[in-house]
Amino acid sequence: MTISGDVEFAGARYRLHVDSPPVLALLTDFIAIGNTAFLRAKSGGWCAVGGGGVTNSFGFDPSAVLQTLVKTNGTLVQVGRDIVRGVSTTHYRFTTSDSTPMDLWVDDSDLLRRLVQTHDNETDTADFYDYGASITPITAPPVSNPSWCSPSITATPPTTTP
């Protein structure tokens, strides 16, 4: 499975596309704006899902990852130096008493370049790059709340401006 997309961390806006084998393809697109998530299934139509917890689902600021993590109750250990997508980075391992350990690769400007987390015998890897690049504005899609979208999870989409 491959997930690609754009993120505006300062504006708490995410746009992701999931490319997975047909057997696994339930959701194909995800947009988050503030506390509202917009989901689109392979069958089509956008569903708006509200309720807190969507904003900054990474749990830290990827543009200042070390500054953010040292303020938590976790343990941050330097593992070594590596090159990620042509950028020199420092590899760290972050653990807390109640979460799965994360491996992070951070460049000399404190920008997160790679995040690896293993849980339930599955490893997730996310690469972060093109910081500051121009992207198409992330806006709310037209919501139709299709039949697969449960009324108990739908939300009124926010009024957004790019």
Could you give the CA distance from residue 140 to residue 15 in angstroms, rounded to a whole number?
10
pLDDT computed for residue 162 by the predictor: 42
Could you give the CA distance from residue 50 to residue 132 in angstroms, rounded to a whole number?
28
pLDDT computed for residue 65 by the predictor: 77
| Amino acid of residue 157 | P
pLDDT computed for residue 60 by the predictor: 61
Strands 112-119 and 102-107: antiparallel
- Full-model pTM: 0.69
Instruction: Provide the residue ranges of all domains of the chain, joining segments of one domain with +.
Output: 2-127
pLDDT computed for residue 49 by the predictor: 80
Q: Which of 75, 68, 63, 77 minimizes the C-alpha distance to 107?
A: 63
pLDDT computed for residue 88 by the predictor: 97
pLDDT computed for residue 159 by the predictor: 45
Tokens 């997508």 map to which residue?
A: 85
pLDDT computed for residue 108 by the predictor: 92
- From first to last of its 162 residues, the chain has per-residue pLDDT tens of 677 888 777 677 778 887 766 655 566 788 888 778 888 877 778 888 875 444 445 556 677 778 777 777 888 899 999 999 999 999 999 988 777 788 999 999 888 999 898 888 888 888 888 888 888 888 888 888 776 676 544 444 444 444
